[in-house]
Amino acid sequence: MGRRPQPAIAEQLLERCTDHALEHGLPDRLEPLVSATGSSARMLLYHFGTRDDLLLAILRRARQRQLASFGELLCLRPDENYTTTLGRAWVATTGADAQSYLRMFGQLREQSERSLWPGFRRLATTDWLGPLQTGLASIGRSGSETLVLAVIRGLMMDIDATGDLARADAAFHELLCALEPEASPLPPR
């Protein structure tokens, strides 16, 4: 008679694996995850099936954390102009707390996306459109959510390539002013 699945243990292992992957990136082998969890490759495979199944679980958990941490930042607030909300969201999603997510999801290139998480790039785009659509409608900019998201994604790629956060911040503020000429400056970092 085999062991019964133990969800609490699997949950703990997944949390530790996700912490490790957010700090160091997705590993090519199981050994870094074995070290990070203090477990064994056999135990990880017992709980998650294959290496790719474990990596997919890590990616999904990281995505849940990202959405929980940053998803509310784009939501319309009744007491605040939406360009102010966007400015605060920009500073948070390009700040130190967001870098591990940007690195991890940046690792998902076309080839690995097909094998690990089909459709991730589409999901990672469409997740943000709803809150942007609602918020932008509040300032009379309905239909601009795709443009705003494209600028955000492009500037994040620019930051990744150049590390020039000040230049990207200036460009994002320029976008906010194009959306609403009286847009507030970005909050301090």
27-75 confidence digits (pLDDT tens) = 989 999 999 999 999 999 999 999 999 999 999 999 999 999 888 999 9
| Residue 3, pLDDT score | 67
Q: What is the DSSP string of 137-173?
A: HTTT-TT-HHHHHHHHHHHHHHHHHH--HHHHHHHHH
Average pLDDT over residues 164-181: 97
| Residue 160, pLDDT score | 86
Terminus-to-terminus CA distance in the chain, angstroms? 57
Percentage of residues of the chain with pLDDT beyond 70? 94
Burial 110-126 (b: 16+ CB within 10 A, else e): eeebeebbeebeeebee
Question: How remote is the C-alpha of 44 from its chain's centroid?
Answer: 25
Q: What dihedral angle (degrees, nearest 10) is formed by the CA atoms of 36, 40, 41, 45?
A: -100
- Taking the C-alpha atoms of residue 152 and residue 168, their distance in angstroms, rounded to an integer, is 9
The dihedral through the CA atoms of 22, 93, 102, 120 has a sign that is positive
pLDDT band of residue 123 (cuts 50, 70, 90) is: confident
* CATH assignment of 7-179, among 3.40.50.1000, 3.40.50.261, 3.30.70.1450, 1.10.357.10: 1.10.357.10
- Taking the C-alpha atoms of residue 43 and residue 71, their distance in angstroms, rounded to an integer, is 33
| Residue 106, pLDDT score | 78
Tokens (6 digits) for 8: 């609490």
| Residue 6, pLDDT score | 81
